[in-house]
Amino acid sequence: MGCSRKERVFMALLGIAAASGLTMLILILVKATDVFLPADTKFGIVFDAGSSHTSLFVYQWPANKEKDTGVVSQALTCQIEGPGIASYTSDPTQAGESLKGCLEEALALIPQTQHQETPTFLGATAGMRLLSQKNSSQARDILTAVSQTLSNSPVDFWGAKVLTGQDEGAFGWITINYVLGMLLKYSSGQWILPEERTLVGALDLGGASTQISFVPQGPILDQSTQATFRLYGANYSIYTHSYLCFGRDQALTRLLAELAQNSSAALVRHPCYHSGYQATLPLAPLRESPCVHTTDSLNLTQNLTVEGIGNPGECVAALRRLFNFSSCKDQEDCAFNGVYQPPVHGQFYAFSNFYYTFNFLNLTSRQPLHIVNDTIWKFCQKPWKLVEASYPGQERWLRDYCASGMYILVLLLEGYKFSEETWPSIQFQKQAGGMDIGWTLGYMLNLTGMIPAEALTQWRAQSYSIWMAGVVSAVLTLVAILGAAAVQLFWTQD
């Protein structure tokens, strides 16, 4: 016997109500964050405008930032062709033009729909700090040129600025501790400070400056060397200092000038260059460096013939003359040049030119100090012809690795006061956690406010509650309406 029309309508309405209830159940079982917060990816671009070259970094992070400690990851790195932007004093527009190739590569990676919301910054370091001291108008012209290029690109340009040495050191410290998971981790639905963590120090050797940053055991007695910030609900106070003119390139330029001034003829016997090496070098570029203080005895219009003698002992002696160690004599809390520094403490990551030099010398496996010292001395004593034959295709920097290796030893041991006992605490690394170590990530996190706050978890929970309340209310209302309609229909139908 078939159902009446009244029964069929009633069953249909009942089915709709049941389907609505089932839909509510499914939605409850589905993670609310998957519904409320789509797992798309955000991007950020940072230009590191160093003294010798410029690099571009693209960082990416999930929009909901719910990825354990790896909130931000490095998506791309690109080396800008040509020298550092401070070199474009005669044609500042070329400084801006030089950025376009890597910028196009970054924009090809980032979805076009997100270009206008991609925060983009340019931070210039010691090369531009030196230029600002020498000729502030030239520095402004270069920053204007790069700003114009980036402002005309389809990104959210946040500006170009010259970082202070202290900012460069502090941002590098934030970066290394962040990527190592020392500053936060995601656990039980919230961002928390790691229970067991050992904050590490940062050692950065650029082309024009070097930075040391770490948490000392005792109080920081000189406030000018103290950087304080608040990250993830915790306060940090670190020692950080930057030495302008003590970067790798400027140190070696100063060394050449010092040797030339002490030479009575147009021939310089260079103890840090390999025996058998000979080259004719113009001295005019020495005048362009604010780090070089020449005397009248040095004719900067002439060329200089440089011969290598491969003498490690004399090389170390010449490098020591670049430092003023006597100003810190018998002072425990003093590095060199009269600069306050508490005793080094904890583990350190040494990156940039610290890493590149020691990587070339195969000294990045935490070898004991006596092996490091012996390796560099033996390398410096190799004849130039043997060195050239052993490293084809690396002629550009090859003559300088002996001087660089020796300079690093003098800087770390006699400058920063590491010892044979504390040497094993230094790790020479280019990357950690799959990301390049440097100041750029810390700079981006600081300026964009991308550091995940505790409020994010609370907001997500509140959003979930509001969303669930809305779903339940809507479904229950629909069920009530359908139920009332069914009852009304049942009693009014014949």
Stronger pLDDT, 260 or 465, i.e. the higher one: 260
CA distance 39 to 352: 34
pLDDT digits (tens, 9 = 90+) for 91-128: 999 999 999 999 999 999 999 999 999 999 999 999 99
Pinpoint the alpha helices (H) of 301-393: 312-320, 353-360, 369-380, 384-390
**What one-letter code names the amino acid at 115?**
H
The pLDDT of residue 32 is above 50: no
Residue 83 pLDDT: 95
Query: Out of 31-40, 331-340, 385-394, which region has the weakest mean confidence (pLDDT)?
Result: 31-40
| 33 or 386: which leads in pLDDT | 386
Note the pLDDT of residue 18.
54
Determine the average pLDDT of the residues in 247-273. Answer: 90
Token pair, residue 269, equals: 């016997």
What is the mean pLDDT of the segment spanning 197-225?
A: 96
d(CA 118, CA 427): 34
Per-residue confidence (pLDDT) for residue 464, from 0 to 100? 39
Distance in angstroms (rounded) separating the CA atoms of residues 170 and 215: 11
The C-alpha atoms of residue 108 and residue 130 are separated, in whole angstroms, by 34
Pairing of strands 54-62, 73-79: antiparallel
Instruction: For the beta carbon of residue 160, count every other beta carbon within 10 angstroms.
Output: 25
> Over 90: is that where the pLDDT of 466 sits?
no
75 pLDDT above the threshold of 70: yes
DSSP string, 208-232: SEEEEEE--SS----GGGEEEEEET
Name the helix (H) or strand (E) containing 99.
none
**Residue with the larger pLDDT of the pair 61 and 238:** 238
Verify whether residue 168 is a known catalytic residue.
Answer: yes
- Written as one letter, the residue type at 15 is G
More confident residue, 481 or 154: 154
pLDDT, greater one: 28 or 389 = 389
Per-residue pLDDT at 231 exceeds 60: yes
The percent of residues above 90 in pLDDT, for the chain, comes to: 63
Judging by DSSP bridges, how do beta strands 190-192 and 185-187 pair with one another? antiparallel
> What confidence score (pLDDT) does residue 381 get?
98
> What is the model's pTM?
0.81
pLDDT of residue 281: 85
- C-alpha–C-alpha distance, residues 210 and 205, integer Å: 4
pLDDT exceeds cutoff 80 at 493:
no
Residues 154-193: pLDDT tens digits? 999 999 999 999 999 999 999 999 888 898 776 776 667 8
**Residue closest to 192 by CA, chosen among 205, 183, 201:** 183
Kindly name the residue from 168, 196, 314, 454 that is annotated as catalytic. Answer: 168
User: pLDDT digits over 275-301, tens only?
Assistant: 999 999 887 777 778 899 865 556 556
What is the distance between the alpha carbons of residues 165 and 126, in angstroms, rounded to a whole number? 7
Q: How far apart are CA 110 and CA 61, in angstroms?
A: 12
Average pLDDT, the chain: 84
pLDDT at position 183 is 87
- Say what the pLDDT of residue 21 is: 53
Region 1-27 average pLDDT = 55
- % pLDDT > 70, the chain: 78
